[in-house]
Structure 1
């Protein structure tokens, strides 16, 4: 039932508004690539600009605050792992219009293998947009994957069968977890934990919204507004970072939970007013950190 619900919820109709808006935030702030420009995304970004301006004018948060903070902090951790040669393979689940794969392949060339995954509609669109890049970068792939499937070519298990277990693997989910209920998230984490355990080194990077940092009236209003924007409930699965860590430990993952503002000196985007509305988690197989 969990997998059926997750697959049903992960639909273009549900995710597309945030995929478009987030894609344009990356474009407008120099994080993206020209091929991923979109007229609908630009129009949606412009439509929300007045409300973002009002919030910022009164010292409040904006969607861009935590979208940029989480993106840059995930990039920061991934860069460190690649530079240290711990990770040479990356899978980004539900990548949408994320430019991360293109940017990292541009930077590291054949030192890494980068696989972006999504459902068939988004994959077809992105393959078309990135056709020229994919032709000249054999280590950059865009593939169909249902992260909640147990078996088959389009499952996470089927995908990693194409990778080298003697090398390190990082799995990324950005802007995904809070669309799903707790059982669906735990199901996904269990699958990720099992996958990473097959590799010489493994790491999982994601953002997540917790109850504790979204408890004040302003934050609650913000989360409610976000729910309207994505046309569905925004799930806050865990009260604190400690509760999240215990849940991941039960699945064999040792997890650090990072507050973006703690990285403000290193990453300018992490100094935004609303940067701490989310947390960025960095997890590894527990056996690897003992």
Structure 2
């Protein structure tokens, strides 16, 4: 039987890039560093260096920020719930599943991606985790996504985590995805969704350059990459409409500089934010 696929399946090249950058940063395993990723990283290195000097951040700096924030919140949830279950969607070549399974062998941590990337990730994992569960393979915008939730125990809390995903979709499709997560996870003891997103760069003096760069990424990834939100309040409303009961928007200036917490409802100028949503 042929697996159902949506048209939104052409962004895997970014997984190779991010996988290699995480390896360069020393937070990943060589098994996740592909030759394609190395080539992409070398190609964009001059642009990244320029952006870090003149824009105040780049793709690779936001990669480190979002990865650090997501990992910290997942670690916090594991400490609160030793029986936690985790599903990382669009896992790509992220080292997160491998790292957390090594450090928390009692949790259930599964990964999911589209067929080609799932096969690539599975081959990489077999080199370093020979007994790991198979990487799940479904399209998030088909009915098959609902079946993935049946892999988990509804009597235990479930965390859905995604990184570098939700800006690639048009807003109605993004709403469909978040609504699906909230709906399919509604029967679980607790449902948490951790994700990052790139807000509109309204507070950056080089916003036009960032916008033009995003159009290039949109073209290269054959996706609908865009900035959908200007304020944390807009993000919160969007997630509430999708069915979540509590939504927190965390900006790097809040996470790395605790003196800025009083400004949590304003766009603080960061290029990436982290979202923590729950159904309780």
TM-score range, shorter chain: 0.7 to 0.9
Once the 2 structures are TM-superposed, how far is the Cα of residue 281 of structure 1 from its aligned partner? 0.3
Alpha carbon RMSD of aligned pairs, Å? 2.2
d(CA) in 2 for partners of 1:220 and 1:78? Answer: 34
| Preserved CA contact (<8 Å) 1:87 1:202 | no
**1:248–1:54 Cα change, 3 Å:** closer
Once the 2 structures are TM-superposed, how far is the Cα of residue 20 of structure 1 from its aligned partner? 1.6
Matches within 5 A, 1:124-143: 124-137=119-132, 140-143=133-136
**1:84–1:118 Cα change, 3 Å:** same
TM-score (normalizing by structure 1) = 0.84
Structure 1 counterpart SS, 2:130? helix
Which residue of 196, 215, 226 maps to 2:214? 226
Q: CA offsets per residue over residues 107-161 of structure 1, 9 Å max, x none?
A: 101x111111111111111111111444334xx44110211112xxxx2221111
Match of 1:271 in 2: none
Q: Does 1:107 align with 2:103?
A: yes
Structure 2 counterpart SS, 1:172? strand
Matches within 5 A, 1:1-290: 7-11=6-10, 15-58=11-54, 60-85=56-81, 88-109=84-105, 111-137=106-132, 140-150=133-143, 155-211=144-200, 213-214=201-202, 216-231=204-219, 232-253=223-244, 254-265=246-257, 276-285=270-279, 288=280
Q: Compare 16-25 and 253-262 and name the one that shifted more.
A: 16-25
Structure 1 counterpart SS, 2:151? coil
Once the 2 structures are TM-superposed, how far is the Cα of residue 99 of structure 1 from its aligned partner? 0.9
**1:249–1:59 Cα change, 3 Å:** closer
| Preserved CA contact (<8 Å) 1:18 1:230 | no
Q: What are structure 2's unaligned runs of at least 5 residues? A: 259-267
Q: CA offsets per residue over residues 81-112 of structure 1, 9 Å max, x none?
A: 01111661111111111111101101101x11
d(CA) in 2 for partners of 1:59 and 1:158? Answer: 43
Structure 2 counterpart SS, 1:159? helix
Give the structure with the larger helix fraction. Answer: 1
d(CA) in 2 for partners of 1:163 and 1:16? Answer: 26
| Preserved CA contact (<8 Å) 1:70 1:275 | no
d(CA) in 2 for partners of 1:167 and 1:79? Answer: 17
| Preserved CA contact (<8 Å) 1:24 1:37 | yes
Structure 1 counterpart SS, 2:104? helix
d(CA) in 1 for partners of 2:78 and 2:253? Answer: 23
Structure 2 counterpart SS, 1:250? helix
d(CA) in 1 for partners of 2:154 and 2:13? Answer: 36
Q: What are structure 1's unaligned runs of at least 5 residues? A: 267-273
| Preserved CA contact (<8 Å) 1:167 1:200 | yes
d(CA) in 1 for partners of 2:177 and 2:111? Answer: 17
- The count of residues paired between Structure 1 and Structure 2 equals 264
The structure, 1 or 2, with the larger RCO (C-alpha pairs under 8 Å, 6+ apart) is 1
